[in-house]
């Protein structure tokens, strides 16, 4: 299974193609649009989000509402084609520090920013969420669920004491910031308000949890098929994400081995663990515990506070331009990260259980799970 996207931030539409998606899966456009709207509506976004609707059109790969195994093509229209009345690509020839502008212009031979900024824009994450939403709907058939939540914004940290997945999901769904800790979320909202007033932007941290996993997804045998590497690579490819933690390694790297690893207990033929410092992955494979990963995002580089830069055409010093931008995308990042993790997990499932049809996947999965049960797992 593979995917490809095309589309610019202020072009006509975003296009996504998925090839190799298992046949026979009922697709709900409404479910995909629900995720797109969670991404769009979160707190701290720019005025652009009041313009977009993010409704989708699936133009191939379905028969009577089910996937056929043929490539699936998805379209998401851009309604916001202009920035403050100017054409969308209104950025000039001054690269913004922290953006793809400079390196992209040098690499592709441009002295104007739009040919680069239009594609590097986080607008493209709408399609990644659509892909992820489709993946989530398949994973749900195998009782796998994924949830992202904000754990830090602009230096305000949430209380992250572990809670059962269902409870976490309830608290997150009630929060405009998708943050389970209401007190911290109130402080974060205030911090975002102040940053907006100052014309500044904020970064932070998001945690993603995947539950309901069987052990053995991914593999230790070859580097390009390692699940932790695939997940971390995919997450760092999201705009602004600069670091990913798997499990508790930011704590455990200071400890000794016996405090860091998750001991196993055999009780009446069943294997269990009392801790999950590994974040559900050992030897680059799922171990059956919840996958827990944390993403660290830098503050967005576009802000009213203009940094020193230079004009690539005139070759003279200039301040970086201010264009309409988000103040904080951390809540939106929770939804994007869910989608990205879902996509990587579905890839691993399709590789492991065969991907021609959902029925085939279910049959192969069932026989694997029967084997696990005989060995005290699940
Ligand atoms: C973005 C700038 C803003 C964001 C955009 C990403 O758009 P505009 O330049 O039109 O104000 O709103 O994100 C989206 C449109 C989106 O749907 O996420 C950027 O420069 O990356």
For 158, the token pair is 């949430």
Question: What does the pLDDT read at residue 78?
Answer: 95
Question: What does the pLDDT read at residue 205?
Answer: 98
CA dist 88 and 80 (Å) reads 8
Q: Is the dihedral of CA 254, 237, 301, 148 positive or negative?
A: negative
CB of 3 closer than 6 angstroms to any ligand 1 atom:
no
Q: What are the extents of the domains in the chain?
A: 2-374
Question: What does the pLDDT read at residue 343?
Answer: 98
CA dist 118 and 55 (Å) reads 20
Question: What does the pLDDT read at residue 254?
Answer: 97
CB of 80 closer than 6 angstroms to any ligand 1 atom:
yes
Top mutation candidate among 123, 124, 302 for ligand 1, by most atoms within 8 Å of CB: 123
CB of 52 closer than 6 angstroms to any ligand 1 atom:
yes
CA dist 369 and 215 (Å) reads 9
CA dist 355 and 359 (Å) reads 9
Question: What does the pLDDT read at residue 323?
Answer: 77
Torsion of CA 70, 120, 54, 231, to 10 degrees: 60
Per-residue pLDDT of 110-122, as tens digits, reads 999 999 999 999 9
Return the H-helix or E-strand segment holding 286: strand 285-286
Q: Which CATH architecture has domain 2-374?
A: 4-Layer Sandwich (3.60)
CB of 372 closer than 6 angstroms to any ligand 1 atom:
no
Question: What does the pLDDT read at residue 213?
Answer: 98
Per-residue pLDDT of 250-286, as tens digits, reads 999 999 999 999 999 999 999 999 999 999 999 999 9
Q: pTM of the full predicted structure?
A: 0.97
Question: What does the pLDDT read at residue 89?
Answer: 73
How far is ligand 1, taken at its centre, from the CA of residue 9, in Å? 7
CB of 126 closer than 6 angstroms to any ligand 1 atom:
yes
Residues of the chain with pLDDT under 70: 84
Phi, psi for 18 (deg, rounded to 5): -115, 130
């Amino acid at each position: 299974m593979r995917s490809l996207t095309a589309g610019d931030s202020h072009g006509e539409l975003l296009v996504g193609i998925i090839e190799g998606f298992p046949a026979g899966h009922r697709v709900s456009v409404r479910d995909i649009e629900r995720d797109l709207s969670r991404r769009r509506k979160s707190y701290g976004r720019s005025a652009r989000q009041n313009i977009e609707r993010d409704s989708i059109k699936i133009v191939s790969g379905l028969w009577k509402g089910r996937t056929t195994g043929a490539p699936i093509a998805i379209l998401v229209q851009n309604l916001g084609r202009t920035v403050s009345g100017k054409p969308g690509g209104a950025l000039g020839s001054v690269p913004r520090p922290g953006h793809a502008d400079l390196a992209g212009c040098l690499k592709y031979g441009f002295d104007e920013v739009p040919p680069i900024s239009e594609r590097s824009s986080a607008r493209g994450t709408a399609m990644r969420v659509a892909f992820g939403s489709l993946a989530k709907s398949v994973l749900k058939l195998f009782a796998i669920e994924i949830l992202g939540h904000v754990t830090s914004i602009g230096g305000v940290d949430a209380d992250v004491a572990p809670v059962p997945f269902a409870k976490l999901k309830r608290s997150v769904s009630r929060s405009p910031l998708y943050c389970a800790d209401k007190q911290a979320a109130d402080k974060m909202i205030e911090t975002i308000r102040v940053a907006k007033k100052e014309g500044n932007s904020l970064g932070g941290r998001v945690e993603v949890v995947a539950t309901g996993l069987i052990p053995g997804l991914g593999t230790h045998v070859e580097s390009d098929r390692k699940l932790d590497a695939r997940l971390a690579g995919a997450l760092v490819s999201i705009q602004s994400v600069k670091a990913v933690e798997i499990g508790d390694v930011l704590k455990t790297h200071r400890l000794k081995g016996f405090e860091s690893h998750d001991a196993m207990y055999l009780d009446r033929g069943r294997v269990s663990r009392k801790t999950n410092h590994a974040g559900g992955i050992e030897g680059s494979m799922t171990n059956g515990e919840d996958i827990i990963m944390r993403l660290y995002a830098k503050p967005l580089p576009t802000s009213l506070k203009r940094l020193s830069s230079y004009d690539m055409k005139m070759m003279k010093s200039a301040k970086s331009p201010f264009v309409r931008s988000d103040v904080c995308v951390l809540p939106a990042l929770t939804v994007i990260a869910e989608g990205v993790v879902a996509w990587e997990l579905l890839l691993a499932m399709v590789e492991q259980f065969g991907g021609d049809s959902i029925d085939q996947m279910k049959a192969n999965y069932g026989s694997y799970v029967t084997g696990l049960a005989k060995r005290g797992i699940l």
